[in-house]
């Protein structure tokens, strides 16, 4: 009985200290995604394209909306415009965001960082990768 208790304690200690040692190997980094996007030219271009497209589609929808008398049809016009803009946003932004995510992963790997979170989640500590990501995106 005593032998079993000692073995259980040893196994538990091994588990606890093993997990702590494993966790100590992880390096946490963070990225201010909004700062990265503000400085990324492809994001700015996509945003500008979306604004121009939104203006164009909104003007066309407004003309159609003003002619329409039925409230249900007016709602349909608005919903259609919103859906089209969400689809266009996804089409333009997804490749940009994918490139940012890939660059974050590449920079993290180069810096030996195993976990990367958004800056807003960090209260203290961690490795700031923001400027490294911005620089890497500028060289692409």
Tell me how far apart the alpha carbons of residues 46 and 33 are, in angstroms, rounded to a whole number: 16
pLDDT tens, position by position, 82-102: 999 999 999 999 999 999 999
What's 124's DSSP letter? S
Selection from 78, 39, 48 nearest residue 61 by Cα: 78
What residue numbers bound the domain in which 44 lies? 2-138
Task: Give the total number of structural domains in the chain.
Answer: 1
| CATH code where residue 124 lies | 3.30.910.20
pLDDT tens, position by position, 112-135: 999 999 999 888 899 999 999 999
Q: Structure pTM?
A: 0.73
Selection from 37, 33, 25, 39 nearest residue 128 by Cα: 33
Q: Is 70 a residue whose pLDDT tops 90?
A: no
């Amino acid at each position: 009985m005593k032998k079993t208790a000692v073995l259980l304690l040893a196994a538990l200690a091994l588990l606890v200290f093993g997990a702590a040692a494993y966790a100590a190997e992880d390096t946490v980094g963070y990225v201010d995604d909004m700062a990265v996007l503000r400085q990324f030219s492809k994001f700015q271009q996509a945003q500008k394209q979306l604004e121009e497209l939104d203006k164009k589609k909104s003007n066309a929808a407004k003309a159609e909306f003003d002619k329409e008398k039925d409230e249900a049809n007016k709602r349909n016009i608005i919903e259609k415009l919103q859906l089209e803009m969400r689809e266009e946003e996804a089409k333009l932004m997804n490749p940009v965001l994918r490139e940012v995510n890939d660059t974050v992963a590449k920079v993290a790997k180069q810096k030996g960082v195993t976990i990367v979170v958004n800056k807003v989640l960090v209260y203290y500590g961690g490795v700031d990768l923001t400027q490294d990501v911005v620089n890497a995106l500028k060289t692409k």
